[in-house]
Amino acid sequence: MPTDIAPGLTLRIATPTLKLSDFKVIAFDMDSTLINIECIDEIADAVGRKAEVAAITEAAMRGEIADFKDSLRRRVALLAGVPYAALQEVYDQRLRLNPGAPELLAACRAAGLATLLVSGGFTFFAERVRERLGIDVAHANVLEVVDGRLTGKVLGDIVDGEAKKRHLLELCRQVGCPPTAAIAVGDGANDLPMMGAAGLSVAYHAKPRVREQAMVAINEGGLDRLLEVLR
């Protein structure tokens, strides 16, 4: 039975006596989890297609589109012709870290956890956020750029929900810990595979389906509210 231990903080674990140092790995989604925006929607704004792209993004995050890879290809195709410089403008002008992200990452580092960013978004933003927050490893999708403009294609394998899970399990293997010693934090349906594999799943201002399945749901306040659960 879910328990509200404080306003906007819900637990679905019977005995919340865990410590952060009980874990060895923590994995984060990026868009709308570590940062305040869905980057693809903001890039689409550069060509006046934000509403069209955002509608697909929202449906995918709610779990209404079963094939994330297809939904991403459809959205990226709508970005064809966007100047590559528009990505820097989105990063500079629109992207902000979500409240509590630096504090939670600092606490994870102090407790000795390996940190992972796994995003269905793009490496342009993921690498910058990784560096800004001091995250160990980042995986995201690569946008094809030709003559300074996006082609509307993604290069290589797409990071979807199953890929997020694989990257989490691989980091656990490298660290030498079982998946039960991992935490996964996300907000959308494509985060559910890694959240299901982890020992502790955390929904951050998440879609209803994700909130309902997570062991911890942060519905108000910042990411550092996880530290109210993990002392």
In this prediction, residues 99-124 reach a mean pLDDT of: 98
How far is the C-alpha of 39 from the C-alpha of 192, rounded, in Å?
A: 20
For 12-41, write each residue's pLDDT tens digit. 986 567 899 999 999 999 999 999 999 999
Position 103 scores a pLDDT of 98
Mean predicted lDDT score pLDDT of the chain: 95
pLDDT tops 80 at residue 227: yes
Q: Please give the residue range of the domain that contains residue 217.
A: 3-228
How far is the C-alpha of 120 from the C-alpha of 41, rounded, in Å?
A: 13
For 184-210, write each residue's pLDDT tens digit. 999 999 999 999 999 999 999 999 999
The residue type of 187 is D
pLDDT tops 70 at residue 229: yes
The total number of structural domains that make up the chain? 1
What's the chain's length in residues?
231
Catalytic residues, by residue number, are 29, 31
- What's the CATH number where 26 sits? 3.40.50.1000
Q: The whole model's pTM is what?
A: 0.95
Count CB atoms within 10 A of the CB of residue 12: 17
Asked whether the beta carbons of 156 and 30 are under 8 A apart, the reply is no
Position 15 scores a pLDDT of 59
Position 207 scores a pLDDT of 94
